[in-house]
Amino acid sequence: MTISFPLLMPTKVFTRSRFKIVAPTTRTRLKSSATFGTAIGAQGWLAEITTRPLMRDEQGAWLAFFDSLRGGVYSCLLYNPNKEYPLKYKFTGFLGLKIAGTTDNFEGMSSILNKRDARTISLNRLPPAFVLSTGDHVGVIKENRYSLHRVQQDAIANSNGIIYDLSVEPSLSDFFGAGSDVTVYQAKCEFTVDDESVSGDDETAAPHAISFTAMSRPSI
């Protein structure tokens, strides 16, 4: 069977998952001993992940996963399992929620209604009174490109299922705009795994965890 990229992660239960927004910077030290940084590129995501203790079959799945990435030549899709659902729906999921004005079940997909600027977007096709909390993750998708963002302020959809002026970080590239799909379930981004960071990747009979770090790829 042909392997398709980007790969999906083999398991989703982690004991540690840190997704941090980072930016390439240069630092200059002044004579006063103060330092200041200058951004030299677009912001991205750094993911630091430790799985739960894995049984041997799960260890094998992760080893094959790393093998297929070929030392960072190929990419994978990662999301933070602690942010699988928005905070409001962490324990209930989207059970019983309907897309505004329809009888269709809401399964986590929305779209950009308009984009005021690179950090402010409006979403539609949500359930009425749908809540996004500060810190929730949303993923934007267009033509198999993925962009991950963190909600900066609480927001609630109106009766038409629209959230106006949702504030997000990092900034959204010009490639994404009105009509782009948005997911609030398992919001993913495309990452390259740092092959040197992988630890615990030896096969043993006893359950053990695997740790690694990964850096997001530019969405366009």
The pairing of strands 76-78 and 7-8 is parallel
Is residue 38 scored above 70 in pLDDT? no
Instruction: Give residue 33's pLDDT.
Output: 59
For the residues 22-41, what does the mean pLDDT come to? 62
Is residue 1 scored above 70 in pLDDT? no
- CA distances, 116 to each of 25, 120, 141, 171, 172 (Å): 27, 5, 18, 12, 11
Residues 6+ apart with CB under 8 A from 1: none
For the residues 11-21, what does the mean pLDDT come to? 91
Task: Count the helices and strands in the chain (H runs, E runs).
Answer: 1, 16
Instruction: Give residue 187's pLDDT.
Output: 97
Instruction: Give residue 159's pLDDT.
Output: 98
Going from N- to C-terminal start, the domains of the chain cover 7-79+190-216, 84-187
- The reported pTM is 0.88
Q: Which comes out higher in pLDDT, residue 24 or 153?
A: 153
Is residue 11 scored above 60 in pLDDT? yes
Instruction: Give residue 196's pLDDT.
Output: 92
Distance CA 175, CA 172 (A): 8
- Pair 126, 101: CB distance under 8 Å: no
Instruction: Give residue 160's pLDDT.
Output: 98
**Amino acid type, 180:** S
Give tens-digit pLDDT for 59-91: 889 999 999 998 888 999 999 999 999 999 999
Give tens-digit pLDDT for 90-146: 999 999 999 999 999 999 999 999 999 999 999 999 999 999 999 999 999 999 999
Q: CATH number of the domain at 7-79+190-216, out of 3.40.1350, 3.30.200, 1.20.1070, 2.40.10?
A: 3.30.200
Architecture of domain 84-187: Beta Barrel (2.40)
Q: Interior CA angle at 48 toward 23 and 170, to 5°?
A: 30
